Amino acid sequence: MALQNMNTGIANGSRKEINGKPHIFYDGYWIRYYPPPDETLSAKRDLLLVLTRRTFHHTEPGINTPGNRVETARQAYESERAPERKRVNAAMLAGALFNRATDLFTSIVDLEERGIRIDTDNELMTQCSECFQEALELGKQVRHSSGHEGIDELWGEPLKVFTQSIAAYYESRYVKIAQAMAAIDNVADHMVSTFKAIPGFDKAEDGILDYARAARQESEIMKSDPDFFYSWPEFVTLAARIKQYEPSINSDKTNLEEVHGWGKRILSEGVDLISYMAGVRVPMPKSTRQYLDRLEQFSSATKKSHSEQ
């Protein structure tokens, strides 16, 4: 359970148990703490494989290009002239480079486990680093699975694991989770302030706040944690409950049906955005700005409509 705790003077990195679970404090939030594994190449490999699967799960389809197809993907990217298609080719090449880097590192670990020492300046290590670096640069053109903005920070996580210690990566993870939690709360607060002023939506507040709490929890719990079997069902069912929300009919305004339909769409979009951020565990500032603009348009339009009737 993540608890917001702003302006308390608590130092980042402070730890304590909450409800019997270890937590760590970063930037206003108590976040579930998981100790990093021992600093070994095999632990880095395992972490890279997990992050590889996670990254492709949250990014647009069709870009999980096998690492042995880098040259083909590069040729297609370099020869494409149409900007829209070239962006997709860039994403496909980034995926191929990402997978090749992971393949190389896996091979390096396999050699190490067989007693063959690989120095940091070895050609395999250099090629692995170069693949990660190029994948990160091209990854700026990769989009979230929703088709929304790019998520560079998620795409860059495997490079962090390769270049930093595992402990340093875990620390950066907590920082990003705190930022994601703050972004989730920001969206939820704007949703509440908007809908509490709209006829028929005054009872949506509790559901929105419950969902934000569940989303914060979803962003902090590792899927290997047994608690995930309890947090995920709640997260899913709370989202469905908001999407199925039916505004109360307590007015005879002639445009009520239009307002309710628009409001339900905006509610659903907010749920989706919160879900995306909880999943990627980083803020999505461009998508957030666009959503808050739509909230403001909805609020302004309904206020104007009410004043004219």
pLDDT tens digits along 57-97: 999 999 999 999 999 999 999 999 999 999 999 999 999 99
Mean pLDDT of 240-247: 93
- Report the mean per-residue pLDDT for the chain: 90
pLDDT-above-70 percentage for the chain: 93
Q: How far lies 306's CA from each of 52, 198, 249, 300, 302, in Å?
A: 51, 10, 15, 10, 6
Q: Is the predicted pLDDT of residue 113 greater than 50, yes or no?
A: yes
**How many angstroms separate the CA atoms of 190 and 204, rounded?**
13
DSSP element (H, E) containing 107: helix 83-113
Is there a contact between 255 and 169 (Cβ–Cβ < 8 Å)? Answer: no
**How many angstroms separate the CA atoms of 302 and 285, rounded?**
26
Is there a contact between 93 and 74 (Cβ–Cβ < 8 Å)? Answer: yes
Mean pLDDT of 146-158: 80
Mean pLDDT of 121-125: 89
Instruction: Show me where the domains of the chain are located.
Output: 3-32, 41-163, 168-308
What is the pLDDT, as a whole number, of residue 77? 97
What is the pLDDT, as a whole number, of residue 305? 57
**How many angstroms separate the CA atoms of 273 and 146, rounded?**
9
Q: Is the predicted pLDDT of residue 250 greater than 80, yes or no?
A: no
User: DSSP assignment, residue 150?
Assistant: B
List, edge to edge, every strand of the sheet that includes 29-32. 3-4, 29-32, 21-26, 15-18
Q: Is the predicted pLDDT of residue 214 greater than 80, yes or no?
A: yes
Token pair, residue 50, equals: 């997990």
The larger pLDDT score, comparing residue 270 to residue 309, is at 270
pLDDT band at 2 (very low <50, low <70, confident <90, very high): very low
For the chain, the residue count is 309
Q: Is the predicted pLDDT of residue 26 greater than 70, yes or no?
A: yes
Q: Is the predicted pLDDT of residue 8 greater than 80, yes or no?
A: no
Q: Which residue has the tokens 């997990």?
A: 50
269, exposed or middle or buried, with CB in 10 Å at 0-12, 13-18, 19+?
middle
